[in-house]
Amino acid sequence: MGTVVGTVDDCREMFEGSSQTRITPFSSTNQIENPVAYKLVRVAGDGRLVPATDEEILEVNETDMHIASDACQTLQPYTDQVKSPLEYNEEMLQKVEQEERLDNVHGSQIPSTPPDTNIQCSNENILFEEDQVHHEALLQEPVPCNINQSNKIEPCSNAEDSPEETALSPAAQKPDFSRVRGEICLDNLPIKALQETFRATFGRETTVKDKTWLKRRIAMGLINSCDVPTTNLTIKDNKLVGKQEKSNDLTDVVSKDMGDEGGATNSKDAPSSTGHVNGHSNASGHGLSSHHYCPSEDYSSEQRAAKRVRKPTRRYIEELSETDEKQQNDKTMIPSKDPRLSEKSEVRSISVSSGKRVTVTRMVSLAGSEIEVPYVSHVRRSRPRENIMALMECHNSCLEDKASAGESNLNLRLSPSQLNSEVVNQDPMVKSASRPVQKEFATSHKNHEEHILSEVDQDMEPEHIDSSGNSSDENNNNDMPIIQGGALRRKHHRAWTLSEVTKLVDGVSKYGAGKWSEIKKLSFSSQSYRTSVDLKDKWRNLLKASFAQSPSNSMGSLKKHGSMHIPMQILVRVRELAEKQALVPPVSKATGDSNRKEKETRSDFL
DNA sequence: CTTAGGG
DNA sequence: CCCTAAG
């Protein structure tokens, strides 16, 4: 491609034995627009230079030259991490010196980054696509995750224009891409991960569990610190393959987006992040924050906005849709088109990116220009009927989900895979499959919605996707939050297992019927689903069953119904308890004698 | 928020 | 299971 210029020589010394990939500036006369490009060169163990592949080459605009140096800079930390070849560093530093501020950033940031982050990093598959350029290098050398982390974070925060990013990203021309990924990363990160990130970023621990807050902080911190060059490399040998694949996917997506509009991508990003935010803070934020934007979001939006019409954030879109549904006319914010949004917009593209995350976008004309926005379906997923309620329901369910998720999370470890939307996305599908009942809305729509929704939930719901959950009982605390993708869907029906019933009965016997919350706490702590109401309902049913059965006695237990056969023993027990309960509660009120009397009577009767 | 009941 | 009224 061009003449290799640069510090390659230095490099070779640096990396003992192992070959290293470096970025070296070279002038490419060929380039029309981009006079300068960086070429990756791998240094073989013997010191030979091996030309980088096409993929490895990055082109940079003149204006972005300085960025290039950033890239170099980026390397520095990297090398440092690896072998800490001082010589090399010096070289790099000299080059970089010009980039004073950047330098500073690195200095501060790297040290602060705790090694622990590795774990986190490893979990994240999505983050690193950008690094594909460096894969070679990465593969060869196991690098501490610090870099990764910075990487991961960075994209999120600086999303917008940071030049370095552009330079670094595999496809220089697709700056948005990296940004997108960044967004995703943050969004997907579990709270724990976010906390880690926070720690890495600020050098201090945080106990805050609010995702939104964490994300904001992190984003802000990154921005403030200037944009740390993301360039770094990714590190996981194991994941390289996966990464690449993902990156490819992403690339595709990006290219798609790019094709549509340069700006489109941007808008897309911002909204998505927003959406996530919504999801998290749903309870409080959703309705309220009509005009509220996330700082990071704002930031990015603003910057991008400069050139193109600012795209509506997802939140905004949601609002619009709400409005639409309500049929309200007032478009306080943007006069453009509420109603049209839903009607006219067409699903532009459905892209499957890393993980299995599905992104659906649609074109919306706003302020005269078309923009691509995440497609948010207004269609109610389940129960099409309840029009008015739909909205409400949605919110409620979100809340519920959130709550449950939280609960379950406490019980469980964070699953490493959580981050993968894959898991989440599959979840809904699995469920729907297992649950014939809801196939009614079989339209393609449904799927999309599900995916989208699931995305929202996924953050909080690392849970396992246990199949129907009924197979295992109590012991395996598998509490699968019923949440699943469909925000509004009613709780997935969960058959009561024998063990559950038993526990319930025990609980009732111990704490008395009516102490559902107690029972739930003590006997069903592991099962986050089963709410006190559920317990109550179940008990009610048991009661009914027990009495229904008693008359015919022997026959009763044999229910032909699909419902599980409740062992007679249990039913009997239930009955007994029921009687007892009926009497006992009054105890306070009635005299012991009377109670006892009643009880006896009943038993006799029975 | 927890219960109790009806749907 | 969901929803809602009550305490």
* pLDDT at residue A214 tops 80: no
Q: Among A17-31, A205-219, A449-463, A482-496, name the most confident range.
A: A205-219
- What pLDDT does residue A580 have? 73
**Secondary element (H or E) of residue A147:** helix A145-158
- Which one of A138-147, A465-474, A550-559 scores highest in mean pLDDT? A550-559
For the cut 80, the answer to whether the pLDDT of residue A522 exceeds it is yes
The distance (Å) linking the CA of A537 with the C1' of B5 is 10
A397-416 average pLDDT score: 35
The pLDDT confidence band at residue A188, using thresholds 50, 70 and 90, is: low
Name the residue closest to B3, CA to C1': A514
Q: Which nucleotide is the nearest neighbour of A397, by CA and C1'?
A: C2
Q: Compute CA distances A474 → A461, A467, A523, A569, whole Å.
A: 20, 15, 9, 19
**A:522-541 Cβ neighbours of strand B under 7 Å:** 532-533, 536-537
d(CA A331, CA A314): 16
Q: Looking at strand B, which nucleotides approach a protein CB closer than 7 A?
A: 1-7
Most confident of A131-135, A185-189, A311-315: A185-189
Q: What is the 3-state secondary structure (H, E, C) of A199-225?
A: HHHHCCCCCCCCHHHHHHHHHHHHHHC
Average pLDDT taken over every residue of chain A: 45
CB A1 within 8 A of CB A57: yes
Share of chain A above pLDDT 70, in %: 15
Spatial neighbors of A569 by CB under 8 A, at least 6 apart, are none
Per-residue confidence (pLDDT) for residue A536, from 0 to 100: 92
Contacts of A572 (CB under 8 A, 6+ apart): A546
A549 Cβ contact partners less than 8 Å away, ≥ 6 residues apart: A555, A556, A557, A568, A571
- Do residues A151 and A81 lie in contact, with contact meaning Cβ atoms separated by under 8 Å? no
Write the pLDDT tens digit of every residue in A78-99.
Answer: 333 333 334 344 344 344 333 3
pLDDT tens-digit series, residues A423-448: 333 333 333 333 333 333 333 333 33
Q: How confident is the model at residue A141 (pLDDT cuts 50, 70, 90)?
A: very low
Residue A401 beta carbon within 7 A of nucleic strand C: no
A549 pLDDT higher than 60: yes
Residue A516 CA and nucleotide B1 C1' are separated, in Å, by 12
**Is any atom of nucleic acid chain B found less than 7 Å from the CB of residue A365?**
no
CATH classification of A498-605, choosing from 1.10.246.220, 3.30.360.10, 1.20.200.10, 3.40.50.150? 1.10.246.220
pTM summary value: 0.30
pLDDT band, residue A493 (cuts 50/70/90): confident
Nearest-angstrom CA–CA distance, A362 and A366: 12
Distance C5 C1' – A533 CA (angstroms): 15
Return the number of other C-beta atoms located less than 10 Å from residue A403's C-beta.
Answer: 16
**pLDDT higher than 80, residue A221:** no
Residue A312 has what pLDDT? 52
Per the structure block, which two tokens stand in for A314? 């997802």
Mean pLDDT of all residues in A555-561: 50
What separation in angstroms does the CA of A198 have from each of A124, A193, A204, A322, A577? 16, 8, 7, 34, 52
The span from the CA of A158 to the CA of A296, in Å, is 8
CB-CB neighbours of A537 under 10 Å:
14
Angle (CA) A287 A409 A152, round 5°: 75
What A7-11 contacts at long range (C-beta under 8 Å, 24+ apart), as own/partner pairs, is A7/A72, A7/A88, A7/A91, A7/A92, A7/A95, A8/A41, A8/A43, A8/A49, A10/A87, A10/A88, A10/A91, A11/A43, A11/A88
- CB A508 within 8 Å of CB A540: no
Q: Where exactly are the structural domains of chain A?
A: 406-492, 498-605
Residue A537, pLDDT score: 92
Interface residues 463-502 of A with strand C (CB < 7 Å): 482, 490-491, 493-496
Which nucleotide, over all strands, has the C1' atom closest to the CA of A392? C3
Strongest mean pLDDT among A312-326, A360-374, A483-497 = A483-497
Q: What tokens appear for A313 in the block?
A: 């954030």
Cβ contact A514 with chain B strand, < 7 A? yes
Interatomic distance A103 CA / C2 C1' (Å): 59
Our measurement of the distance from residue A400's CA atom to the centroid of its chain's CA atoms, rounded to an integer in Å, reads: 17
Residue A125 is which amino acid? N
Determine the distance between A517 (CA) and B1 (C1') in angstroms. 10
pLDDT value at position A207? 74
- Cα–Cα distance for residue pair A293/A428, rounded to 1 Å: 29
Each residue's pLDDT tens digit, A331-340: 333 333 333 3
pLDDT of residue A489: 62
pLDDT at position A567 is 77
Residue with tokens 């501060």: A108
* Distance linking the first and last C-alpha atoms of chain A: 94
What Å value separates CA A175 and C1' C5? 56
The answer to whether the beta carbon of residue A255 comes closer than 7 angstroms to any atom of strand B is no
Q: What are residue A369's phi and psi, to 5 degrees?
A: -115, 150
Burial class of residue A440 (count of CB atoms within 10 Å of its CB; 0-12, 13-18, 19+): exposed
The CA distances from residue A362 to A209, A345, A374, in Å, are: 33, 6, 6
H helices of A17-99, in order, are 65-82, 86-97
The Å distance, CA of A605 to C1' of B7, is 32
